[in-house]
Structure 1
Amino acid sequence: MGSEKLSLNDRVLKIAAKIQENSYIKAVSMGLASLMPIIIIGSLLTIVTTIAAKISAPGYQQFLTNSGIKPLLKYPNLVTLGLLSIYAAFAIAYNLAQSKEQDGYMAGLLSIMAYMVVQPFGTLKGEDILPVHLLGAEGIFTAIIVALIVPGIMKFFKDHNLYVKMPVGVPEMITRSFAALTTGGAVLLLFFAVKIIFAQTSVATLPALITLLIQTPLKSLGSSWIALVVIMLIVNFLWFFGVHGHLVALSVMLPVYLQMDVENLNAYQAGAALPNIIGYSYIYVYASGACVLFGLVFWLLKARSERYRTLGKLAVVPMLFGIGEPLAFGVPYVLNFTLFIPVVFTASINVILAYVATAINLLPRFNGVNISGMPVVLNGLLVGGWRVVVFQVLLCLLNIAIWAPFVKRLDKTEYAQEVANAKAAETTEGQGA
């Protein structure tokens, strides 16, 4: 029986490790993660400007209009979330190139160039124009695909010595710039050829094809609560085996969920109905951190075992900020079959309850603000208001009930072991005396 479990563990770990260490998946995950400062700043500024725009005080509105500030309130959102795909093109290409020992900086620049050349430019009154909305969340998948291709082209040219070599002593940036000449030319010609080819078809552009074949189907999948429940089961099943479930299982869907958040944020800014229930913020608020682990920490703090009480005190603050690693490897709940049920199923239960409550309008849809790293209750307040906060508290209370029998069983075993160890120590001391 033990060998069968070991065999299952090995198979799960082997598959998950391959996914987790895949350079392309890591590049997308790390690249998007590096954009969080831009996303969070843009989200928070959008809330500030939206509140400012909605204040009904006549004197304040007159001040905004007379000072010329009111028309400028849209620009913080425009230069952050409105250009998100440009930043993604750079960040993902940079991370992938670094993993392949290529020039990450040049890879990022060439990726932006390639991304821009395939965009559907038009003309208006004799001027070249490009709809800005295409450069935000709507263009994220095009940015990802371009960013994953460019470093490969760079590697091909480097491996075959197809680049301009400068003499020793030339400044590093000049050397890097000339080395990228041939690669840059190839990247531009390749993606320009793609642009010409698609212009002759009914699809018209590469971004349009990506939207048709990838982005739209994935968004349909991402908006499904059933799909999210399954994803969260996989995420926490992997965590049970000690694998970073969010990195492995959410990497593919993360761009979709971020796009759905941005769509809600744009609608919120425009004063329109919020289109999506699910998004990355939805997962963070209802299916991670305290809303999943509060019950575990609660019962650890009440444990009879000295070890678990101490661990509970150490884990409180990280848990409130959505950090579960101290519990994963400290309790541990990794490969701890006593805790298998709450570890794997709690987040999915929360997702179902929150979705139903939102669908029947007991809870509001989120405004799309990215609240990564913010503690429970505060994150709920920022994205949805007091009703979300109340629901988070209810989930924490439900969490206490879910974890109770499993943690108590674990504590009973540990406490018995501590008592036995203490008696053995006393016996040894008595014999020594």
Structure 2
Amino acid sequence: MAKEKTSFIDRILGVAGKIQENPYIKAVSSGLASLMPIIIIGSLLVIVTTIAAGISNPGYQKFLVDSGIKPLLQYPNLVTNGVLSIYTAFAIAYNLAQSQEQDGYMAGLLSIMAFLVVQPFNISKSGSVSLPIELLGAEGIFTAIVVALIVPVIMRFFKKHNLYIKMPNGVPEMITRSFAALTTGGAVLLIFFGVKIIFSQTSVETLPSLIKLLIQTPLKALGSSWIALVVIMAVVGLLWFFGIHGHLVALSVMLPVYLQMDLENLNAYQAGKPLPNIIGYSFINVYGAGAVVLFGLVFWLWRAQSERYRILSRLSAIPMLMGIGEPLAFGVPFVLNFTLLIPSAFSASINIILAYLATAVNILPRFNGVNIAGMPVLVNGFLVGGWRVALFQVFLCALNVAIWAPFVKRLDRTEYAQELANAQATDTQTEG
């Protein structure tokens, strides 16, 4: 029975390890992570337009309108989150191409071109061309991901079969890269233009419509489920316990969905409309990661008898408050530490359940969609939902202290006893 159990765990870890090392999943995860500065800057500037007090303060809004600032303040979010799919297409293709030792820059450019080719441009009888801007924002993220994963594959095929123009030695590198991309770029354009023509003759009409029907809508339905999120966070914790990057494995598929849900809330918040989603990437960061999950661990390590744990707590406290848990994961460690299995694996899920229920009954507000990855605890809660969210984070930290208490105290007793034994052994050797 023990061998069967071990074998089952090994198989699960083997699958998780393959997912973690999969170049396509890593490209999506790394590409979206690289866009965080753009997402954060754009969403934070929305607050300037619609500060919590400003939405219900006619004087503040009147000043913005009368001064002519109000329309201008829409541009930062429009050119960041409003066209996020374009940045997504470049970033993911770039990361995938780089991992396959291809020209990441060209892969990114060709991915943008392919993404735009399949969009449903409207051409009027007068010849003017238009495209709904929302298709370039949250709505188009999944199309951008699919295109960005296909373009480097086409590039690799052409490179493998030497189907590109080679320039003689001495030609500047950028010229060489440009000519090498001519045949590939032409192929990418023709392939995706052909796809556009084919779909235009069907009831689906466009590739983005098909992706929305088959991928985006089902995943969004799953992403809006609190039960699914609780399970995902438990899997994240369990994978971290086994030393595997749980967020990369368990959240990689759902990350685009959660980011899209945040952007939907952000757009509604900017327009002064009801916020549509409870769950999002910010929801996970505020209630299911960082200090609200690890505060109890650091609290009890700080008060530990073990000198090693006291030193570790002081070194890891500030990173923990900023949402960085790796020093604790590998310093305590709670990786493969069965004494800490329960709190390390399930504390995030407990937080998510409590936060979702409190939001569903309107004790807590829905988030405004501002993405605050990397911001310290309480600050991130205040920015996305105001003082009630920050206060609830304090409650979760206190709850966290209670959850971790028996497990960390037991761990500390074992470590302290080992330190005393080592010290006694050292003294005996010194006297001898």
TM-score range, shorter chain: over 0.9
Please name the residue that 1:138 is paired with.
139
Q: C-alpha distance in 2, partners of 1:169/1:53? A: 60
Please name the residue that 2:148 is paired with.
147
Deviations 1:72-96 (A, max 9, x none): 2211111000000000000000011
Q: C-alpha distance in 2, partners of 1:46/1:415? A: 51
Aligned: 1:118 with 2:118: yes
* Bigger shift: residues 301-310 or 132-141: 301-310
Q: How big is the shift at 1:272?
A: 0.4
Q: Which amino acid aligns with 1:339?
A: L
Structure 1 residues 3-22: aligned runs within 5 Å: 7=7, 10-22=10-22
Q: Which amino acid aligns with 1:430?
A: E
Please name the residue that 2:330 is paired with.
329
Deviations 1:140-171 (A, max 9, x none): 00000000000000011111111111111111
* Bigger shift: residues 213-222 or 302-311: 302-311
Deviations 1:339-370 (A, max 9, x none): 11101110000000000000000000000000
Q: How big is the shift at 1:67?
A: 4.4
Deviations 1:10-40 (A, max 9, x none): 4343222211110100000000001001000
Change (3 A) 1:400 1:55: closer
Structure 1 residues 343-362: aligned runs within 5 Å: 343-362=344-363
Q: C-alpha distance in 2, partners of 1:87/1:162? A: 28
Q: C-alpha distance in 2, partners of 1:324/1:352? A: 21
Structure 1 residues 80-119: aligned runs within 5 Å: 80-119=80-119
Q: Which amino acid aligns with 2:219?
A: L
Structure 1 residues 342-421: aligned runs within 5 Å: 342-421=343-422
Query: 1:264–1:276: 8 Å Cα contact kept in structure 2?
Result: yes
Please name the residue that 1:30 is paired with.
30
Structure 1 runs not aligned, ≥5 long:
none
Change (3 A) 1:313 1:192: same
TM-score by length of 2: 0.96
Query: 2:55–2:272: 8 Å Cα contact kept in structure 1?
Result: no
SS class of match (2:50): helix
Q: C-alpha distance in 1, partners of 2:267/2:120? A: 22
* Bigger shift: residues 372-381 or 422-431: 422-431
Identity of aligned residues (%): 77
Change (3 A) 1:103 1:253: same
Deviations 1:375-419 (A, max 9, x none): 100000000011001110111111011111111111111111111
SS class of match (1:164): coil
Query: 1:267–1:273: 8 Å Cα contact kept in structure 2?
Result: yes
Q: C-alpha distance in 1, partners of 2:261/2:206? A: 23
* Bigger shift: residues 401-410 or 115-124: 115-124
Query: 1:85–1:143: 8 Å Cα contact kept in structure 2?
Result: yes
Aligned: 1:206 with 2:207: yes
Q: How big is the shift at 1:70?
A: 2.4
* Bigger shift: residues 119-128 or 235-244: 119-128
Q: How big is the shift at 1:423?
A: 1.6
* Bigger shift: residues 420-429 or 42-51: 420-429
Please name the residue that 2:46 is paired with.
46
Please name the residue that 1:77 is paired with.
77
Structure 2 runs not aligned, ≥5 long:
none
Please name the residue that 1:193 is paired with.
194
Deviations 1:173-197 (A, max 9, x none): 1111111111111100000010001
SS class of match (2:123): strand
Query: 1:53–1:70: 8 Å Cα contact kept in structure 2?
Result: no
Q: C-alpha distance in 2, partners of 1:53/1:323? A: 33
Please name the residue that 1:283 is paired with.
284
Please name the residue that 2:340 is paired with.
339
Aligned-residue RMSD, C-alpha: 1.7
Q: C-alpha distance in 2, partners of 1:247/1:22? A: 10
Q: Which amino acid aligns with 1:183?
A: T
SS class of match (1:89): helix
Please name the residue that 1:215 is paired with.
216
Q: C-alpha distance in 2, partners of 1:255/1:321? A: 23
Q: Which amino acid aligns with 2:285?
A: Y
Structure 1 residues 150-165: aligned runs within 5 Å: 150-165=151-166
Q: How big is the shift at 1:68?
A: 3.1
SS class of match (1:335): coil
* Equivalent residue pairs, number: 430
Q: How big is the shift at 1:71?
A: 1.9
SS class of match (2:74): helix
Q: C-alpha distance in 1, partners of 2:361/2:125? A: 48
Query: 1:12–1:241: 8 Å Cα contact kept in structure 2?
Result: no
Q: How big is the shift at 1:9?
A: 5.4
Q: How big is the shift at 1:69?
A: 2.5
Aligned: 1:428 with 2:423: no
Q: Which amino acid aligns with 2:18?
A: K
Deviations 1:259-292 (A, max 9, x none): 0000000000000000000000000000000110
Q: C-alpha distance in 1, partners of 2:180/2:66? A: 53
Change (3 A) 1:61 1:294: closer
Please name the residue that 2:236 is paired with.
235
Q: C-alpha distance in 2, partners of 1:394/1:70? A: 37
Query: 1:287–1:351: 8 Å Cα contact kept in structure 2?
Result: yes
